[in-house]
Amino acid sequence: MYKTLSILLEFFSLYGIYPGKKKLRTAFLAHPYFPSLLAIRDTIESLEYDCLPVQVPKQSFEELPLPCLAIQRKNGQEFLTILKDVQNGQCRVYDQQDKWHTQSQAAFLEKWTGIALLLDEEKKKESLFTTLVRLKRGIGLVLMGLAIFMLLAFVKNFTFLQGVLFILNLAGLFISGLLTFYHFTNKDELIHSICRGGNGDSGNCTGILNSKSAYIYKTVSWSELGLLYFLNLSLLFLFADSAGALSHLLKIYLVPGVLFSIYSIAFQIVKKQKCNLCLLTVSIIWSQIALLVAFDAVPFFSLKLTVPEVLLILLLSISSLFWFVAVPGIKKWLHLEDRMYNYLRFRLHPEVVAGFLEQQDKAPPMEHLSILETSNEESKHTITIVTNPTCKPCQEAHNMIKKLQAARADIRVRYIFLLKEKIIQTTPEQIKDLIETLIPDLEQCSFTTPDKVTVLEPGAVTNEPVSYHAVVEPQVCEETKIDFQQITRDHRTWCEKYQIDGTPTMFINDRELPLHVSLQDLTYYLKYR
């Protein structure tokens, strides 16, 4: 599933689109039909790019607009690929195993199911969000550089050699942190790619880290030991009171590091597998040893320790014990995201939402209230919102409903205003402009429902914006001071009379929307139910 995310990111990058991995993950992993083709299509559409799934006969393969996403099948398993171009019978393909590579057209067609996903030509352009993501990444790199500079600035009595050793140690800390994260979660595509050796298949970090010999007392893994080792070295750089003491302590700490690295290499040779990230940490340890032997004038083997040095080593050793206390909580936190997506998939599932709605109360009779309605012949669902023009949450709900209408043409919407007991009727074509003009008018002036209501016939509809005054014949509306206390009293009275808890209150197909279900949660219910 995470490989599918990396393929989608690569596909968008072909058009200079960088939606952000977090946004893409949320849209894809929270989809109730994850990880189906429907989930892939809706994920692309959630980024406001139109996606068209097509079934293409293999003899019409060359007519496909490229690049596109293609569904292939191998050993009974379907997987997503990118087809970039086809030239001279050779296909340029990106998949989850070999990344970018070239294969013959015959080999591609043999695995292709005939299903492709096309991106709308008119929307293959960089958005403002893409620009913001690029800017965010650049700022992140700058801040990271500043953080390293500040760390170096805090360290006193640094020699040039120790500065190089400190930078190497930060690299080791970063790599061991990646290994620990990957070992705890086993789901980061970038780390997995590094472990495999880029586009090849030369590494197997998972196989090495999960083996019994990679644990101490079946509890502490290699990755955790490496993280604690480099973390302790980093603290040595920060708290050693002199350059000489730092050099001395570094040599003492590097001895167990060398022994551990020898064991790591021997184990990978025996197992006939390798962990590329583990080998990187080993190379860092040996690089530090080589630099100390070659350029440090202090004798390497010296076990004479001062009292402050002994206390510092004991303090660092004791502080490492806190890691083992924190590990269970860290693992739960890392897997919290998976549980969150499982919950979202359950909550957003159309059948689950339908079950919630069936348990809700039916809408009370409100035929004598001010009603605006939009519908069409293809309407399958009705959203009823009881609203109040002076209510800010109501305005936010209106905006969300407009987004749902833009995405779904088969929604009928009824706006019921808790104002006066008169009916305002209009036609579907006027509703969008009418709502946009009605709310501001009601905010700026007093509202009086007219005694006479004008009902526009369908033939009288024009494409011009229609204001509230064009639909009804109200009394003269002049700006006036609004008595909010009176509005509050009237609002409470109307809510009690029509059995409404407050505004906005929404009903879906005449069933009250539960408090724990938002309008955003209805996206898949309205689409697939």
Residues 315 and 377 in one domain: no
Residues 216 and 112 in one domain: no
In three-state secondary structure terms, 509 is coil
Nearest to 113 by CA among 140, 89, 81, 144: 81
Residues 329 and 378 in one domain: no
Confidence grade of residue 232 (pLDDT, cut at 50, 70, 90): confident
CATH of the domain at 243: 1.20.1440.130
CATH of the domain at 93: 3.90.70.10
* Tens digit of each residue's pLDDT (9 = 90 or more) over 399-423: 777 777 776 667 878 777 665 443 3
In three-state secondary structure terms, 501 is coil
Q: Which residue has the higher pLDDT, 467 or 192?
A: 192
Residues 368 and 311 in one domain: no
Instruction: Give the pLDDT mean for 382-410.
Output: 74
Residue 386 lies in a domain: yes
Main-chain phi, psi angles of 339, to 5 degrees: -65, -35
Residue 129 lies in a domain: no
Residue 487 has pLDDT above 80, yes or no: no
Nearest to 428 by CA among 447, 449, 410: 410
Res 150: pLDDT: 58
Q: What is the DSSP string of 32-69?
A: TTTTSHHHHHHHHHHTT--EEEEE--GGGGGGS-SSEE
Residues 111 and 220 in one domain: no
Residues 160 and 280 in one domain: yes
Residues 159 and 302 in one domain: yes
Residues 266 and 414 in one domain: no
Res 249: pLDDT: 74
* Tens digit of each residue's pLDDT (9 = 90 or more) over 336-365: 767 777 777 777 788 777 787 888 878 777
Residue 480 has pLDDT above 60, yes or no: no
**Between the ranges 47-51, 107-111, 207-211, 469-473, where is the mean pLDDT highest?**
107-111
Decide if 302 contacts 247 (C-beta within 8 A): no
Which region holds residue 157: left if phi is over 0, alpha if psi is between -120 and 50, else beta?
left
Residues 305 and 379 in one domain: no
Main-chain phi, psi angles of 55, to 5 degrees: -105, 115
Task: Determine the residue type at 397.
Answer: A
Residue 449 lies in a domain: yes
Structural domain including 515 reads: 362-528
Residues 285 and 367 in one domain: no
Residues 285 and 426 in one domain: no
Instruction: Give the span between the Cα atoms of 41 and 38, in whole angstroms.
Output: 5
pTM of whole model > 0.75? no
The number of domains in the chain is 3
Decide if 74 contacts 91 (C-beta within 8 A): no
